[in-house]
Every structure is written in structure tokens, then in C-alpha cells.
Structure 1
């Protein structure tokens, strides 16, 4: 469907787009016909795939699985329409990613953010748009969930995960005040940036009363910072967004406490965004996997241009470089924050120190944590290239599956697939970030389909043998009499 000039002034509306999407999906044969045999265990149904998390990664995977005839169940502890960080802990005004990226659209034009936006606001508005507003991206994901008919169970909190030797993973789930054990043949963790841990908290916060500080990923009412002198530790995107939010909520001042002498200027990760790496990270030698990811980590990603201006436009914002925090002490209702540049007396401190892989922060994974093989047992970097994040990353198999640290200690562990940020060292950034989320979802979905067929090969072969749907019913031809035909042909040749 071409977009005419009239489309810009008179948007078609979501109803028209959804009709177009329905036709696209019908044309593409999406969803595919179900083909996996149903199973029960202990007289209870066994799901084919359960996905923990219904953010953009979980939704993309749901759509990719439907393309290969598998319908997963997505469990999310958040209430309806509040999945992921976009409407809760994220504070950026716009996304960093260019608006043209297709994200979770799975190659379907009518499922893209662009199509969704133009259907409502027109082509001229799209052309004028610089970056995608954060809350508008959340609205798009809500629409995506609805039109793809993802089977999401909200307010379902996973309490425990237990792989079994027979290939079933037991999942304890709390919902409506009750705890039940679900069963699935494959479990996928689509749990986001902090998928195997949580906020990384620096040692200088030990002993500091929690009422005086927060991590940038915490849910918090920034209006409580009005009139206060606030410090923000860090200078990445979330630090800028937290600082700007505090300033916009009438903080008396915000001091950015930046370890580096200046902000990084170049986003090195953009230089790696080529199809060869997107599809080929897993095939690289360990040395190259480590070298690429460590280089990007060490160079650090600069804060977005707009996020930085959002802070610097305030006269009461102060960028303090070379001010790594050395210690924090309480003095009455104030914090004394010591840095090489001096002691900052502040009312409140926001630490934007990222996330760590820390299994102790995810009690639901306590049963598997001791058995997961990590990169620190697989690879030893050269001196100077050490990287705590990479060392703690899980050493995943070709389909994002966990592997046993000691073979045989936890059978069935490889039926759990890590489709969240900690998969980056093994597979690249295809399991969470917008640019390649469809590629990662498609890779995992197709791989899971192949595993199901392999595991059920005897049943599929028996089904092949018993397949008896006729192509012909015998009325399509009239049998000839061979003797008569031979005689007729002989006579015709003599003539």
C-alpha cells in the first residue's frame, strides 16, 4: 500500500492498519498450524513454551514462535499494560534508537512503529518526528500485544524454577494469592536488562540510610526531591535522565559526579551493528567475542545528545568531572560525599551505576544458579582485559540455553533459555535491544521448533507413516486396456 499525500493530512486510523495487518498475516500464513503433540505429566498439562516476561523481547518471541506453529504462554508479574520499564522506571524523554528501526515487527511492515504512528498522525508528523517518545513506544507495545494476540498472564510472579531430568521444567507461580506449579518443556527468560540480577550498588553506600539515596532504576516519586540538593553518580543515559527528572521536579540543584575527565563522545556500539555480527557472534572465537564486548564496555556508551541537553539547559545543573565517589557519610540529615574534587554536601544521592549479574538478587533462580556454567570458567582474558560483567555472563549454548557447570549435576538445565541481556557475550545484543530483537527472536523460535521435532521424532515418524489424506480419489482417469492399446498401436504403424 503506497502512502499518498492525502495520507499525511488524513491518517487512515488504527482500524484500517489492523485490517491491513490481518491481511498481511493471512498472506504470510501466520500463525502457522499447531503441530507439536500435547503432553501431560502427573495428570497435569505440560506447556510447550513458557516465557517469563512480556516486555518487547517476550512479545517478539511470542510472535516468532507463532510463525513456526508454537503458541507460548507469557508470565509477567506486572499489571496489565505496565510490562517492562517504559512506564515505570525509565525516565528518558525519547528512545536512543533511530525511529526507522523496525524493532519487534518481525519483518512485517504493518506491524512496525512507523506504520502504527502514521496510521494515527500521518506522514507529515512522521517526517517531523526526531526520536520516538518513551511513553509512545509503550503505547505501541500495548497495541502490538493486542494485535498479535499474545497470551500474556499479568500479575503472575515466578517464585521458583526447577528443571527435571525428564525434560520438563517446573515453575512455581503466584497469582491471585495462590501458588501453583506450572510445567513446560522449554522455559525462556525474557527478563530484560537486569535479567539475572539487579541494580549494581557501589560499596560506598554500605551503611547509608536508604532514605537518603536511590538507584536510577528504582521506582520513585521525583517530586519528593523538590528544594533538595541532589547528587547523581554517573554520566550515562540513565544518570542524565535521573538528573533531568530531578531538575524538572524543582530540585534546588543537581551535581553530576562523573569519574571520567570528560564525557565519552562516540557510541562505539553503533560501529558493531552489522548483519555479520548480529547473526555471527556465536560463531566467533572466544577471544574475539570477549574483545568486542569488552572494548564496547570499556569505551562506554555516551549519554544521548538530547538527554544531555535536557540537563545542561538548567542553570542549577553542575557537571563535576574527575569526581569519582570515594566515600559517603551521613551527618544528620545531610550526606557528605567525598571525591577527589572535594566533599559535596547533599540532601539526596542517586546512583546510576548500571546492573550486575547477581543471582542472589533473583531468588526465583536459586535452584539453578549453582549449576549454570559461566564465562569465568570458560575463558581467561589477557591481563588488562578483565571484565567483571563478562566473567559473570552465562556460557550459553547455540539456542541461548544454559549449560551445566558440572555435567550431570542438574539434568534438564539446558531446557531453560536465557533470552535477556546477559546473553550478549555468547550471542550478541539480539535478546533485548531494539535494533536486532526480531533477529534474536526468530533464531530462538526456529531453534526451539527444531528441538521439539528432534525430541518427538518417533511420534512424528509414526504420524508420517499413518498419514493417509488422499490427493486423488480414483475418478481423475479412466484405465486403458493395455492389450487393446498394443494392438491399436501396431495397426497404426502398419498403416
Structure 2
């Protein structure tokens, strides 16, 4: 557990100055366990839980499939970069409260001068900060709780959960009115495994989303497929663990180095991106796909300092065979064999891949249902993204068939085409967390309008009676006498 010390005075003052969180104003409903269930207990889950608390919304539950906080999230598990890929100055889970920011936390421990010297945030420091944030704000997270199915039930949902208790798993059903899917990069799909690799056994293949025993690769020959940041991070981790040879294969002739999303990283475009016409949002997503996802310079330099790192740009595997316990392939007329293959090939958006979404996936409006680009601008992968509403909510494919979808908010990368950012990461927090919380507040308020109407029309006790000012009331006859 992260210790809270006197060095956190700025954070303590922040909470003191904004005052206590409002009482829960949402009227209880019979048979409802939770007003909101947040799926995912990482940086997203904790930030949403705090924001909802400050909005006076109670009965909020954060669930996480990880066994405990040490296994939750990516930063100390599957993330392998040395530094975050985003600028240190971006607003994060503090969402407008500087005393709760990474900078305030860091300077309280290491000083303002040290903060000024770092260019980007070290991954492990970010993990420390998130642990502090969670404990300082006393955000409860139910670990060992996996959502297995969302079942619509009129104006609420029945959530089927597998709850791990020690060595046993029990299935339970709980009810909720709202759901926030803060479940990471695979939250609306799964790892993208190229067809050429799918026949390889798990003993010889892993996706970067998986736990990988890099120590076991010491002295081994490793192939990494992919040219984006996660591929370079995996290659570097293998090299640093003592791999004998690491070969990275990228489809592009040149590693993507132009971060096209920066062209719209100004407040006007950032704040109003959702309001762009569909054609512009689609063209922006296509531009990103054409340019490619850029690894940070330090991620590339991290591998190129090794003489046993070999880059194969403009190459794509056409076959992979297993012989004598090794993976064999042929690239550009050269036969190569590897002891292990790592797929740094990103993620596929496909709601049907998620068991918890199976009952609702067919009703969700996708971009391919909403927008038909010119044939030259078509893109099946982008078309599979959900077409989301202003508060990142699912919309119906056919109006009237699944009205409950508006109560599921998608705070994960599936929102990319609709909102232009890798939603769920730091860049999206400042804009999208308040938007989702405001919509949840509005929906819960209007859903119980009768109760709120009665409350706001209710009798209010007087603060004082006439006796307080009776002696000062003007009386003409007394004035004349005087």
C-alpha cells in the first residue's frame, strides 16, 4: 500500500478547499445494487470513481478481474516502455484539481527542479502515482471480479460476474443502471493475431498483451512482428533480458515517424472533435491508419544500441512452420528460424469477441452502419468501431430495438474513430471523463424526475421567524410620537 505522508500537503489542501463530497442524491431503487458499475480498476476506473463521487452520485462500484492491485492495470505488468508516450504536462486523473496531479505528487517527493529535468514520465513512477492516487482518495476496487455477461433487463442491467474468493470462483448476478467500460485496449475486441501466426503453439508465440517470460528468452533467437511502439518495447525488453538475436519485422518500408494526430492537438479541435462531420472524422482516422502508429524516438534508440538487433522493414511473413521446436519462415528469399515469436500487432475491434458483450453486440451501431465512404477510402477495421454518442455511449443499430445501449459508456480505444484519440489513455481524460460523468448525472436525474420534482418542491424549514426583526418594523404612530 502506498503511504500517505506530510509531503502530500498540497493534495490535502486541495481536498480541504473543495470541501467534502456531496451526499448521494440518487434515489434508491428497489432491486438495484449499483447506480454505476465501472469495469476496470486501473487509471480509468479510479478517475471515474472519484469524479462520480464529486458529482454526488453514490452506489458506484469498480470491478477488476485482476487478483489484486499489484496485478491490475498494465503499468507493472504488460507495459514495457521506459517512459510514457505522452507529454508530462497533460491533464490526467486529477481532472482540474492540480493538487492531485502527477506533477504535485512528484514535486512533493523529488522537488520541482527534478520535475523540470524529466522530459516524460517514467512508467514505474506513473504506476507509483496511480497507486498513491487510489489510496489517497480511498477508492475501493473489487479485485478478482470478472464481468462475463451484460444482460439487459428493462431500465437496468443484470451483470453476470465471476467472483474469485481464494481458490474458488463463484458466479453471482448484480444489477446496475449504468456501465462504464474502462477495460483497456482490448475492451471492445481482442489482440490482433495475423493469420500466418495463428497456427503456432502458445509455447512459441505470445502477443504483447500477454505476460511474457523474457528471462526464458536469454540466449534465444526472437522474432518480433510489428512496427509500432509495443513491438519496439517488446524487442527492447527481450534484448535487455539477454536474448541472443532479435529480429523485428515491419510491413512498412520505413518506420512510421510522423505523428499525424498532433495536427489536431489544439483546444478547438480537441474539445469539439465529436461535432466534426462524419466524413472528416473518417478521413482523420484513415489518415492515421495510412501514416501508421509512431513509436517514440527513445523506443527506437533503445533497440538500435544493440548490435544483435536486426530490423526488417518492408517485410511481411507469408508462412510460419514449426520444425524441431523452432519457428521457420522465409523473408526476401532468406530462410530464418526463431525460438520464439512475439506479435506486436495491435488489437482488433470486434464486439463479438467479448463474451460480456455477446448478448448486445448485434444491436450496437458501428461506423460501417452509419457512414459509407468512397470505395478508395474504405477500411474494414475502422468500420468495425462502434459509432458512439456525445458521452461515448453505444447507439442502436435500429432505433427502438435496444434503447438500453445509451446506458453503456465506452471509455476504451474503440472510441477512436468517433473521438479521434486513443480513449482510455491520458490524452482523453480531460475532455471525456467530465462528459461521461455529466451525462450519467443527467440521465439518472431525469430518470427519477418525479422524485426530484417532489424534492425540489418540498417544504423547507425557515431559518428564522419574525421575532428576529419585530422590534425594527416601522410603525408610523410610534414615529409620530417620537
Counterpart-to-counterpart distance in 2, 1:268 and 1:276: 16
Counterpart-to-counterpart distance in 1, 2:312 and 2:472: 96
Q: For 1:202-281, list aligned pairs within 5 A.
A: 202-281=194-273
Give 5+ residue unaligned stretches, structure 2.
none
Matched, 1:168 2:159: no
Counterpart-to-counterpart distance in 1, 2:89 and 2:281: 28
Counterpart-to-counterpart distance in 2, 1:104 and 1:303: 24
Q: For 1:8-157, list aligned pairs within 5 A.
A: 15-41=5-31, 45-71=32-58, 72-78=60-66, 79-157=68-146
1:334 Cα deviation from its structure 2 partner? 2.2
Counterpart-to-counterpart distance in 1, 2:473 and 2:14: 51
Counterpart-to-counterpart distance in 2, 1:115 and 1:180: 41
Q: Please, what TM-score do these two structures have when normalized by structure 2?
A: 0.93
Counterpart-to-counterpart distance in 2, 1:430 and 1:455: 31
Counterpart-to-counterpart distance in 2, 1:286 and 1:421: 18
Matched, 1:485 2:472: no
Counterpart-to-counterpart distance in 2, 1:220 and 1:37: 47
Counterpart-to-counterpart distance in 1, 2:278 and 2:367: 10
Counterpart-to-counterpart distance in 2, 1:209 and 1:164: 41
Q: Which residue of 1 aligns with 2:296?
A: 304
Counterpart-to-counterpart distance in 2, 1:336 and 1:299: 30
Counterpart-to-counterpart distance in 1, 2:294 and 2:173: 44
Structure with larger Rg: 1
Paired residues of 2:41 and 2:73 also in contact (CA < 8 A): yes
1:345 Cα deviation from its structure 2 partner? 2.0
Q: For 1:75-474, list aligned pairs within 5 A.
A: 75-78=63-66, 79-165=68-154, 167-175=155-163, 176=165, 177-340=169-332, 342-429=334-421, 431-474=423-466
Counterpart-to-counterpart distance in 2, 1:481 and 1:257: 90
Counterpart-to-counterpart distance in 1, 2:205 and 2:50: 40
Q: Give the CA RMSD over aligned residues.
A: 2.1
Residues 30-51 of structure 1 show CA distances to partners (whole Å, capped at 9, x for unaligned) of: 522321111122xxx4311110
Equivalent pairs counted in the alignment come to: 474
Q: Please, what TM-score do these two structures have when normalized by structure 1?
A: 0.91
Residues 316-347 of structure 1 show CA distances to partners (whole Å, capped at 9, x for unaligned) of: 00111121222212222222223335332222
Residues 439-478 of structure 1 show CA distances to partners (whole Å, capped at 9, x for unaligned) of: 2111111111111111111111111222313233333211
Secondary structure, counterpart of 2:109 in structure 1: helix
Counterpart-to-counterpart distance in 2, 1:142 and 1:188: 21
- Bigger Cα displacement from structure 2, 447-456 vs 16-25: 16-25
Counterpart-to-counterpart distance in 2, 1:384 and 1:481: 83
Counterpart-to-counterpart distance in 2, 1:90 and 1:481: 74
